[in-house]
Structure 1
C-alpha cells in the first residue's frame, strides 16, 4: 500500500476516502445512527474523490469543536478554511439574524446598506490601491471573475499558474489549477494556460539540500519571466501567496521579484487568498506579509465566518473599466446575509485582536513543531505561517520519500483521540486551527499529534 501507483496520482488536495485505512476507520464506528446516516448519504449523493463516501456524520459545532452523531467531539484543525472564528460565534449569529428579519435578499439592480458597508470595510483592510469590490457566492466564482477581468484589461487571454495549485473545481478554475486529480478525464479545458514550478524549498524542481545555508527560491520567479518572454500574450499570473494545503511558504524575495516581473511585462498579478485570507497568516491577507500588492485579490471561505457562503474579487480603481461587461452577474451579487456575516467576521477579528494573537501563536507552533522534528525522524520538514502549518512525513530524511501509510496512521489515531485535520499530497499533515483557539487548546492538540507521531515511530523501531 505504501506506494500504490493507482492512488499516488490523486494524492493531492486532501486525504483519500477510498483507502484501506478509511475503510478500517469506518468499520470501527459502532454507533448505529451514524452508520445509518452514512449509508443514506452514500446512497443519495454523487460519489466523488475526497468527499462522498464520508468520514463521519456531524450534528453539532461550537467554538473550535465539531461533534459527531454519537456525541464525540473533535478539535477542528481542518474546517475547509472557513473556521477562522470557529463555529457559531455569537456576534455573527446576532448580526445575521438581525439581517434576516430586515432584508434577507437583495435582487440585482438594487443596492443595500450592509453590502456597501462591507465593501468599504474590505477596501479599508486591504489598504493600498485595492478599492473596487465585486461579490460572488463562492471562491471559484471569484477566480472566474478575476480571469475575465484580466483578459479585459490586458487584451491577452493566456494565463500562467503553478503546478500543484488549486483555484477551485469549476472547468475554468481547474484549467488554471495545477492538480492532476481535478483535470483527470475531463478532456479539453480552457486554452492558453502555462504552468511553472511552485517555489518549494523542501522538494520540487529545485529542492533545497539539507545543510544549505544560502538557499534562494528567486529562480522560481525568474522562470515566470522566461515563460512570459517565450510564450507571449500572457495576461495574468495567478497563485496563492502561500500554498494552503501542503503549506508552501515562499520568501519575500520571491514575491518581490514576481511583482517586478508582472509590472515589467504588464501582466496582471492575481493573488488567490481564498483559503488563507481573513487573518490566517497573521495579516488580514497573506500578500500583506510579503510587502507587495496584487492587481486582483480573490477572497472567500472564512470571509463568511463559517456561517454564510460569500466571496469577493477586489481590484484597483484604475481597472474599473468593464461597465459594459457582466463580470459576475450572480444572483447573490450583493447578498445582505453574506455581507452581514463578512462584516461581523471582520469586527470580531478586530475586537479580539486576532491578527496579533495569530502572530504570537505562530511562534509557539513553530517552536513546538520544530522540537518534534528534532525528536522524530518521521518528520522530514516543518513549514508554516500564522496558524497554517505543514508537517511533511517521510520514510527517510535523505531520500525524502513520502510515507503515505504512516501519514494515514497518524491521521486516524488523531481522529480517535479527538483531533481532526487533513492530509495533503499523501504525506503532509496540514494543521490550520481556528484563530480563536486558546493556548491551552493548542497545546492539547499538539500533544495529541505528538502522541500519534511517537506511536508510529515506536512501531518502526
Structure 2
C-alpha cells in the first residue's frame, strides 16, 4: 500500500529522498514565503495529511494541534469536503460573481441564518484580511465617517487597512497604510493595563478607557469598532463578563458600528457557530474565513446587517472581487454546515473543551512553575509561559527573536520531536486542534505538551 500520492498521481513510499529533495529545491528556488527572511528559512516538505495528522516525506508523523493556521476545523482530507469540491468541479467549476449561482446563494443563506438577528446578506471575499477590508469600507460608506477603532493585541490581516488595524508587531514594518485607524487597549486581566484585580474591574476599566478614546477622538468621526470576539493569535483572550455587551452599548450611544472579526474564532472553534453568540451580543458586521470550509478552497466574507445592506439598495457598493463566492469554495462551505450537523461538531467541541482540555490544563498550571495562566473555551486555549509566577515575568521578552527566543523555541522543539505540531505564539502554547479530534488523540496531544513544559520549567523560578 502506498504511503502517499505524488504530484503526478503516482503512488510513493516514505523515505524517497529524491522526491523530498525536489520539493525542497523548487520551494527554495521559486517560492517567496510570508513573514520570513527568505535565506533564513527551510520549510518542512509535507507529503500527506489525513484527519488530525500530517506526514513529512521521511514518514515522520505529526499530530496537528494548530489546525495548520487555525483554519483546518474539519481536519485534513475530510471525505465530505473533498467530495463536495469534486462534485462541484464536475458540474460548474467557476462562474463570475455578477451572476447568480445556486451553491453561492445556498451558502449565503445558511450563514445568515446561523449568524445574528437582523443579518441580511453576505459579501464573499477570498479570505479573512479582505473580509476585514470590506467590512471597514462598508462601515465608512454607511456612516459617512472615516475613523475605525481597533485593539492592541489583535491581528486582522496583512492587506493595507487590515494590517493597520492589527495591534501587534507584524504591523510595525508596514507603517500607517490607513490613517483612519486608532488603537486602544482591550481587556486582559492577567497582564491588565488598568491595574484591575478582578474580571469585573477589568471590564469596567476597559470600557471606561474605550469611552475616553471615543470622546477624545470625536465620536462623530468614528465609523466602527472592530474586535476579535475571542482574540486568537495574540493570546486566546476571552472577553470578561459584560465587556462585549458594554462595547455594544457604547456603539449604540455614539452611532458607531460594531464589527466582530470571527475569522479565527468562528465556525465552531469555541463551541458556537460564531464566538460572539456566547455573549448575547448583536454585531452590525461579522467577518469570517478559515473554518467556513476549513481552507480547502480560499473563501471568506462579511455578514451584513439589514440596515447596512439597505444603504446600497439604490446606490452601488464600490467594491468587488473576481472570485467572490467561488463555487468550489462555496460548495465546501455548504458541506461544512452539513458535516457540523451530522457529526455534532458544536456539541463535541463544548464537551471536549470542558471535560478534557480545561481540567487537564488546570492540572498543568498546578504542576509546572513555568505556567502563569491557562485560559480559553471550546477547543481554543492558551498556556501562558513565565519565568516567575510571582512577578509574571514572561518566559521570553515581548517580540523576542534569535537567542532571546531560545527558551520558547526549545519548548516548541520538544513538542515537535514528540510528534506534535503546536500552535506557538509569543510566550504561549495555544491549543487549537481540528474539531474532529478524538478524545484519545486530544489526550495524547495534551500529554506531549505536559512533557514539553518540563523544558520550560528549566527556565522558571522554583
Normalization by structure 2: what TM-score? Answer: 0.88
2:327 maps to 336
- Alignment match, 1:38: 24
Distance in 2, matches of 1:127 and 1:397, equals 40
Q: Which of 179, 184, 193 is the aligned partner of 2:181?
A: 193
Q: Which moved more, 1:30-39 or 1:311-320?
A: 30-39
Q: Is the 8 A contact 1:81 1:301 kept in 2?
A: yes
Give CA-to-partner distance per residue, 1:103-148, whole Å, 9 cap, x none: 1101232111111111111111114111211111111111111001
CA contact (8 A) 1:167 1:174 kept: yes
Query: For residues 366-381 of structure 1, what are the structure 2 equivalents within 5 Å?
Result: 366-381=358-373
Distance change >3 Å, CA 327–CA 54, structure 1 → 2:
farther
Q: Distance in 2 between matches of 1:127 and 1:197?
A: 26
Aligned to 2:374: 382
Taking the aligned partners of 2:190 and 2:17, their CA distance within structure 1 comes to: 42
For 1:42 and 1:203, the matched residues in 2 are separated by 40
- Measured in 1, the distance between the counterparts of 2:290 and 2:392 equals 33
2:146 corresponds to: 157
Q: Distance in 1 between matches of 2:27 and 2:171?
A: 23
Structure 2 Cα separation of the partners of residues 226 and 299 of structure 1:
29
**Residue pair 1:134, 1:328 contacting (<8 A) in 2 also:** no
The verdict on how the C-alpha distance between 1:332 and 1:399 changes in structure 2, with shifts beyond 3 A counting, is: same
Correspondent of 1:313 among 284, 287, 302: 302
Secondary structure of residue in 2 paired with 1:178: coil
Pairs aligned (count): 429
List aligned pairs for 1:262-277, cutoff 5 A. 262-277=251-266
For 2:435, the equivalent position in structure 1 comes to 435
* Matches of 1:208 and 1:68, distance apart in 2: 47
What's the RMSD between the two structures over aligned residues? 2.1
Question: 1:208 & 1:30 partners in 2: Cα distance?
Answer: 57
Q: For residues 164-175 of structure 1, what are the structure 2 equivalents within 5 Å?
A: 164-175=153-164
- Matched residues in 1 for 2:285 and 2:146: separation? 16
Contact 2:116 2:283 in 1 (8 A): no
Give the secondary structure class of the aligned counterpart of 1:315.
Answer: strand
Instruction: Quote the Cα distance in structure 2 between the aligned partners of 1:219 and 1:35.
Output: 56
Deviations, residues 395-417 of structure 1 (Å, cap 9, x unaligned): 00122111133322111111011
SS at match of 1:390: strand
CA–CA distance in structure 1, aligned partners of residues 108 and 160 of structure 2: 28
SS in 2 for 1:168: coil
Shift in Å, 1:308: 0.9
Provide the rounded CA distance (Å) in 1 between the counterparts of 2:36 and 2:359: 31
Q: Following superposition, which runs of at least 4 residues in structure 1 exceed 4 angstroms of deviation?
A: 29-36, 212-215, 458-461
1:378 to 1:231, Cα distance in 2 relative to 1, 3 A: same
* Greater RCO structure (CA 8 Å; 6+ sep): 1
Mean Cα displacement is larger for which, 387-396 or 172-181? 172-181
- CA change 1:455–1:178 in 2 (3 A) is closer
TM-score (normalised: structure 1):
0.88
| Unpaired stretches in structure 2, ≥5 consecutive residues | 1-14, 397-405
